[in-house]
Amino acid sequence: MPHYTYTSAANFNKGEVANIMQKTSIKNTENTSFSQKYYLHKYFVILFAIFLLYPGSVYAEDAQNDALNWQISVLPPAETAAEKEALRWTQLMDNSIGIYYFDKNRIFATKDPFGNTDKNILQVDIKTFFVNEKLLDYFNMTLYAAQLGKDEKTAYCVQTLLFNMHGKLYRELKTDVYTDKGRLLAETATKSAWKPIPEHSFAELMWQTLQQVPLGQLKREDENS
């Protein structure tokens, strides 16, 4: 695994989180009103954008690791659904916010406006297990308190991102939030605007990793493997 230098990206408290929330569409899986769904969406999008892709949160000093072995392979047999799910994900990095994984088998080229394959705009799925206690407390005690079951806690999110490789830009396509029981807690499907990739961030490390993918292996999601 690469070596990382950390900074204090997660030194925040509930009051600071609340202030951020006041300055900002998630669709909850429970019975909530339209306005509640809208504001819950705003809350999560702002949190994710600020803390999970925060510039300076982590810097990869050595991006060459086993995650960059792009030989085509078949997943080994697994006995349970949980084992099969775990095998999908390759760890990219970790910091004071969470542990980040990407699905090496779900990196796709996209379509340009004329329907042609575009290997400059790449799509990838990211899974983040939250480890920051203050952030988890906010999720469990405030943001998702009404949606969590008695023995449930907020655990991770799965996000679909697009990367403009030449322009060094990224955008979010979708974010799903799950409990520690694997239950879908909340989801969004609102595309964000294209944003510059911050230096020394998770997004930059993912962009660097995608540069190692052989162009000949890239296919669109709608193409047969």
Taking the C-alpha atoms of residue 202 and residue 4, their distance in angstroms, rounded to an integer, is 11
Share of the chain above pLDDT 70, in %: 64
Over residues 201-221, the mean pLDDT reads 91
Q: State pLDDT tens for residues 137-151.
A: 999 999 899 999 999
* pLDDT top residue among 47 and 60: 47
C-alpha radius of gyration, the chain, whole number: 18
Give pLDDT, residue 84: 77
| pLDDT of 11 over the 70 cut | no
Stretch 191-219: mean pLDDT: 90
Q: How confident is the model at residue 20 (pLDDT cuts 50, 70, 90)?
A: very low
For residues 61-73, give the mean pLDDT: 48
Q: How many CA atoms lie within 13 A of 192 on its CB side?
A: 24
Q: Which of residues 213 and 7 earns the better pLDDT score?
A: 213
Cα–Cα distances in angstroms (integers) from residue 82 to residues 75, 79, 86, 163, 171, in the given order:
14, 9, 6, 29, 29
pLDDT reported for residue 54: 53
Q: Tell me, what's the pLDDT at 32?
A: 47
For 118-134, write each residue's pLDDT tens digit: 999 999 999 999 999 99
Give the pLDDT mean for 157-174. Answer: 95
Percent of the chain with pLDDT over 90: 44
Q: How far apart are CA 155 and CA 10, in angstroms?
A: 17
Q: What is the pLDDT of residue 160?
A: 94
Q: What is the pLDDT of residue 81?
A: 75
**Residue 62 confidence (pLDDT) above 70:** no
* Kind plus residue range of the DSSP H or E element containing 157: strand 154-164
What residue spans define the domains of the chain? 4-70+87-215
Q: Among 143-147, 166-170, 220-224, which range has the highest average pLDDT?
A: 166-170
Residues in Cβ contact with 37 at an 8 Å cutoff, skipping those fewer than 6 apart: 25, 26, 27, 28
